[in-house]
Amino acid sequence: GIQVEQSPPDLILQEGANSTLRCNFSDSVNNLQWFHQNPWGQLINLFYIPSGTKQNGRLSATTVATERYSLLYISSSQTTDSGVYFCAVRARGGGATNKLIFGTGTLLAVQP
Residue ranges binding another protein (CB under 8 A): 30-31, 33, 35, 41-43, 45, 48, 86, 88, 90, 96, 98-105
Is residue 90 within 8 A of residue 21, CB to CB? The reply is no
Is residue 47 within 8 A of residue 61, CB to CB? The reply is yes
Radius of gyration of the chain measured on its C-alpha atoms: 14
Q: Which is nearer to another protein, 78 or 104 (CB)?
A: 104
CB of 90 to another protein, least distance (A): 7
CB of 92 to another protein, least distance (A): 10
